[in-house]
Amino acid sequence: MHWTMGPSPFFEERHMKLAGRLEDWRAPEVDEDSPDLEAACRTLAGDLADAGFIDLMVPVNSVVDLRAVCLAREAVAYNSALADEVLAMQGIGAGAIWMHGTPEQKARYLDPIRQGKAIAGFALTEPASGSDVANITTRAERTDRGYVLNGAKTLISNAPFADHYIVMARTGEAPGAKGLSAFVVDRGTPGMIPGEPIPLIAPHPLAPIAFEDCHLPADALIGTPGAGFAIAMATFDIFRTSVGAAAVGMARRARDAAVERVLSRHLFGDSMARLPGVQTSLAEMEIDLTTASLAVYSAAWNRDTGNGSATRSASLAKYVGTEHAGRVVDAALQLFGGAGVTRGNIVEKIYREVRAARIYEGASEVQKIVIARDLLKAAGLKR
Ligand SMILES: Cc1cc2nc3c(=O)[nH]c(=O)nc-3n(C[C@H](O)[C@H](O)[C@H](O)COP(=O)(O)OP(=O)(O)OC[C@H]3O[C@@H](n4cnc5c(N)ncnc54)[C@H](O)[C@@H]3O)c2cc1C
């Protein structure tokens, strides 16, 4: 079965060519059960780079083709959620640099990320501020030579082994979100202390990072002081849509597995596929999947063509993509019956893998707030 949407008004010739390349791609075998996922992630990064897919996440000309990014994430996630994590983080951990970095920062960091030789990270969340980004307390104090970081981040993908992290810290130009700045911090910088891996319900490298008198040179600042929140949101305006695409890829894999299952299983003396209740369930899955795909690719098209609000589209795509995908995967597991909850079953694995997408890069409830605020702002509501 085909993993993605066929020709559509959202796609151009180059997207259909890319879809062909993506369809041939298979994730390399890696040890996903290892408590230390570094080796697996480095193998996946090398493979994704060789296939040319990381170039889509970190565009050389600084113009992202979001439809291509979404196609890549959908296809890669169809194959492997861990490979999708690696692909996505190369983009999220590089976005601040290609969008707002100096020529020196771009020259130093971007090519190794594109080549899969360096692994990137993005450190925003703290123990007391995940959804509440404006409450970040990690501080960056200005010194004669640069900055000193103190504070703690948690739930950071690719920690503890990423080669650099985009770190958001309070520099105090204004209260709340307007007093944050973005920094690039290299692995091994004295005072940067990555913690032990946090085990998750599905394979995904994650760890806390502490900063204790961590001295940074002045040129570790990305963009201007106080621009950190805007830089983080510019990154999310691109990558939230692609989280929806990845969720669609996982849901499509679960849907395909469920179709195979009902075709091969007999219940009540007939093919399970002939039971009306089973057909209703499949129809609902297809409706959810199509709704999710449309939300994702119309948002990507909007951004690529400058149509409407990129922020509202991205939140809508993330919300619809991940919520509908979650329903599809749940329904696919239900069609497998008891086999669906046995360890090692493909739908059991996807069920665990797809869940976190409704939480990271802004939980579903946060996306609704963004959508409503953007709608009301356009209608003239002042903050
Ligand atoms: C697999 C994974 C990878 C991650 N990777 C990274 C990373 O690389 N970098 C990084 O910085 N962070 C990362 N995170 C952290 C992630 O961004 C946060 O978990 C997320 O923003 C939610 O923050 P929180 O966990 O502190 O939950 P909280 O902010 O405590 O929120 C808890 C729940 O409350 C609800 N909620 C929140 N706000 C509202 C509201 N206003 N109204 C109604 N309900 C609300 C939501 O359901 C939310 O899930 C990752 C998380 C996971 C699970």
For range 363-372, the mean pLDDT: 98
Q: Which of 360, 364, 371 has the most ligand 1 atoms within 8 A of CB, as the residue to mutate? A: 360
Could you tell me if 177 and 264 lie in one domain? no
Identify the CA nearest to 284 among candidates 313, 255, 264, 308.
Answer: 255
Positions annotated as catalytic residues are 361
Instruction: Indicate whether 1 belongs to any domain.
Output: no
Instruction: Indicate whether 165 belongs to any domain.
Output: yes
State whether the beta carbon of 155 lies less than 6 angstroms from ligand 1: yes
Q: How far apart are CA 176 and CA 125, in angstroms?
A: 15
**Protein residue with its CA nearest to atom 32 in ligand 1:** 131
**Protein residue with its CA nearest to atom 6 in ligand 1:** 156
Asked if residue 7 has pLDDT above 80, the reply is: no
Residue type, 108: R
Residue 5: which pLDDT band, with cuts at 50, 70 and 90? low
CB-CB contact of 340 with 262 (8 Å)? no
Residue 1: which pLDDT band, with cuts at 50, 70 and 90? very low
Could you tell me if 241 and 373 lie in one domain? yes
Helices (H), the chain: 13-24, 38-50, 54-57, 66-79, 81-100, 103-114, 228-264, 276-305, 310-336, 346-355, 364-378
Residue type, 364: S
Instruction: Indicate whether 41 belongs to any domain.
Output: yes
Instruction: Indicate whether 34 belongs to any domain.
Output: yes
Q: How many domains does the chain have?
A: 3
State whether the beta carbon of 239 lies less than 6 angstroms from ligand 1: no
Question: Which domain, by its residues, includes 364?
Answer: 235-378
State whether the beta carbon of 130 lies less than 6 angstroms from ligand 1: yes
**Protein residue with its CA nearest to atom 29 in ligand 1:** 131
Where residue 87 sits, what CATH number does that domain have? Answer: 1.10.540.10
User: Which of 229, 253, 283 is the C-terminal boundary of a domain?
Assistant: 229
Instruction: Indicate whether 274 belongs to any domain.
Output: yes
For the CA of 132, the nearest atom of ligand 1: 29
Could you tell me if 322 and 258 lie in one domain? yes
pLDDT tens per residue across span 184-194:
999 999 999 99
pLDDT tens per residue across span 232-282:
999 999 999 999 999 999 999 999 999 999 999 999 999 999 999 999 999
Could you tell me if 357 and 242 lie in one domain? yes
Distance 363 CA to ligand 1 centre (A): 6
Could you tell me if 139 and 215 lie in one domain? yes
Q: What is the pTM of this model?
A: 0.97
State whether the beta carbon of 360 lies less than 6 angstroms from ligand 1: yes
Distance 322 CA to ligand 1 centre (A): 14
Q: What is the DSSP string of 76-111?
A: HHHH-HHHHHHHHHHHHHHHHHHHH--HHHHHHHHH
Distance 50 CA to ligand 1 centre (A): 33
pLDDT tens per residue across span 117-172:
999 999 999 999 999 999 999 999 999 999 999 999 999 999 999 999 999 999 99
Sign of the alpha-carbon dihedral angle for 334, 340, 342, 343: negative
Could you tell me if 159 and 50 lie in one domain? no
Distance 136 CA to ligand 1 centre (A): 13
User: Which of 229, 244, 276 is the C-terminal boundary of a domain?
Assistant: 229
**Protein residue with its CA nearest to atom 27 in ligand 1:** 130
State whether the beta carbon of 120 lies less than 6 angstroms from ligand 1: no
Report which secondary-structure segment, H or E, holds 181: strand 180-186
State whether the beta carbon of 124 lies less than 6 angstroms from ligand 1: yes
Instruction: Indicate whether 383 belongs to any domain.
Output: no
**Protein residue with its CA nearest to atom 31 in ligand 1:** 131
Asked if residue 3 has pLDDT above 90, the reply is: no
Q: Which of 125, 229, 370 has the most ligand 1 atoms within 8 A of CB, as the residue to mutate? A: 125
Distance of CA 83 to CAs 9, 129, 274, Å?
Answer: 28, 28, 36
Instruction: Indicate whether 3 belongs to any domain.
Output: no
Could you tell me if 373 and 251 lie in one domain? yes
Asked if residue 340 has pLDDT above 90, the reply is: yes
For the CA of 362, the nearest atom of ligand 1: 21
Distance 156 CA to ligand 1 centre (A): 11
Instruction: Indicate whether 82 belongs to any domain.
Output: yes
Main-chain dihedrals φ then ψ at residue 268, nearest 5 degrees: 55, 40
Mean model confidence pLDDT for the chain = 96
Asked if residue 2 has pLDDT above 80, the reply is: no
Distance 365 CA to ligand 1 centre (A): 10
For the CA of 92, the nearest atom of ligand 1: 8
Distance 126 CA to ligand 1 centre (A): 10
At 331 the pLDDT is: 98
State whether the beta carbon of 204 lies less than 6 angstroms from ligand 1: yes
Could you tell me if 255 and 185 lie in one domain? no
DSSP, collapsed to helix, strand or coil, labels residue 3 as: coil
Could you tell me if 93 and 136 lie in one domain? no
Could you tell me if 26 and 95 lie in one domain? yes
Asked if residue 332 has pLDDT above 80, the reply is: yes
Could you tell me if 68 and 128 lie in one domain? no
Q: Under 8 Å CB-to-CB from 56, ≥6 apart: which residues?
A: 18, 64, 65, 68, 69, 72
Could you tell me if 181 and 51 lie in one domain? no
State whether the beta carbon of 123 lies less than 6 angstroms from ligand 1: yes
